[in-house]
Amino acid sequence: MLGSIEKPLSAEKLEALLVRYEDRLHSEETDEPVVIQIEELREALHAGQIVPWFQPQAEFANGKVVGIEALARWERGDGRVVRPAHFVGMLEADGLAAELTDTILDQACRWKRRWQDDGLRLNLSVNVSPATLHDPAAADRYQQIVEAHGLAPSEVVLEITESLLMADAARGLGVLARLRLKGFGLSIDDFGTGYSSLAQLSQIPFTELKIDQGFVYGANSQPRKRAVVEASLDLARKLQLETVAEGVETVEDWQMLAELGCGIAQGYLVGAPVPAIDLADCVRRWRQPH
């Protein structure tokens, strides 16, 4: 913690950091260690226990909640909720990445349609495993899933993690191009963690850049982090990409990002990921920081 405080050190800076840490600790989801067997995980996927939770995204310009990201959660029969870091890798290694993506996309679109019918119109972001981008049929399949719920591909942004995509960008380029032609938005997720080259970024038809929370959190008080955020936003402007900052947890972070011209905020300040049934209440509780 001392290493993250802007120097020179003072009691006030330390106190502010401790308060922020305490707030963040209480806002985080519980994430106890869990032992998972792949057979149990396969059954959970087929039984519909792996479902999307949703985290709201708000515009910096006016504070309005304009979008949501669907995040996979395993709602176990014993009442525990398991986060994706514990099971997504296992499903991908077992060859179930496509089935997981299809399941989350289908359920997320069903909820989006329901909210839309109730007057709550939100853009939807869904994570896509890079492993599925090797399937030439993926673009058509995603289009069919979205349109089956009466939605248009232009209402959906597909997020691809930079570090995983850049390991094999060439193989996925054809599918990504087809997805863009169908109208889907494409987001490069966790930007800054994958060491992508400008040449690769210029070749892949992204529409959105998401700045990794590791750079966003605390950037208002750490010049090096702020420099990375500023450079990322400048690059996005030059490439004509929408910008989303992940990990926005404090009013100070919000104010800094707003001043730098970032487009959209996502993080615990706006709202934590919640079950679909609770999203409307989460949106109503949100109040833009002054």
Give 190-253 as a DSSP string. EETSS---HHHHHHS---EEEE-HHHHTTTTT-HHHHHHHHHHHHHHHHTT-EEEES---SHHH
Residue 5 covered by a domain: no
Domain membership flag for residue 26: no
- Work out the average pLDDT over 67-83: 94
Calpha distance 41→88 (Å, rounded): 10
Q: Which residue has the higher pLDDT, 22 or 78?
A: 78
Q: Is 105 within a domain?
A: yes
Q: What is the pLDDT of residue 145?
A: 98
**Alpha-carbon dihedral of residues 187, 60, 274, 143, nearest 10 degrees?**
-30
Q: What average pLDDT is seen over the chain? A: 87
> Given a cut of 60, is residue 119 above it in pLDDT?
yes
Asked whether residue 3 is domain-assigned, the answer is: no
Q: What is the DSSP string of 14-34?
A: HHHHHHHHHHHHHHSPP----
Residue 72 identity (one-letter amino acid)? A
Report pLDDT for 134.
Answer: 83
pLDDT at 6 over 70: no
155: pLDDT confidence band, cut at 50, 70 and 90? very high
Q: Is the pLDDT of residue 60 over 90?
A: yes
Residues 138 and 194: their CA atoms lie apart, in Å, by: 24
Mean pLDDT within 136-159 = 96
* Band (131; pLDDT cuts 50, 70, 90): confident
Give the pLDDT score at 14. Answer: 75
- Count of the separate structural domains present in the chain: 1
Contact criterion met (CB below 8 Å) for 273 and 85: no
Greater model confidence, 12 or 204: 204
Q: Has residue 220 got a pLDDT over 80?
A: yes
Q: Which of 222, 219, 143, 214 is nearest to 184 (CA)?
A: 143
Q: Give me the domain span that covers residue 191.
A: 31-285
Whether residue 12 is contained in a domain is answered as no
Higher-confidence residue: 24 or 267? 267
**pLDDT at position 273 over 70:** yes
Q: How far is Cα 243 from Cα 88, in angstroms, rounded to an integer?
A: 26
Q: Cα(first)–Cα(last) distance of the chain, in Å?
A: 27
Integer CA distances (angstroms), 42 to 19, 92, 99, in order: 41, 11, 10
pLDDT tens for 162-187 read: 655 555 566 678 889 999 999 999 99
Quick check: 234 pLDDT over 60? yes
- What's the rounded mean pLDDT across residues 137-153? 97
Helices (H), 118-192: 138-148, 162-165, 169-182
Q: Has residue 10 been placed in a domain?
A: no
Any idea what the CATH number is for the domain that residue 230 is in? Answer: 3.20.20.450
pLDDT at residue 132 in the model: 85
Instruction: Determine, yes or no, domain membership for 11.
Output: no
Report if residue 184 sits inside a domain.
Answer: yes
Residue 48 has pLDDT above 60, yes or no: yes
Q: What pLDDT is attached to residue 26?
A: 45
Residue type, 256: M
Residue 47, token pair as written in the block: 């039984």
Q: Where are the beta strands (DSSP E) in 44-89?
A: 50-59, 65-75, 81-82
Mean pLDDT over 85-100 rounds to 91
Q: What's residue 133's pLDDT?
A: 84
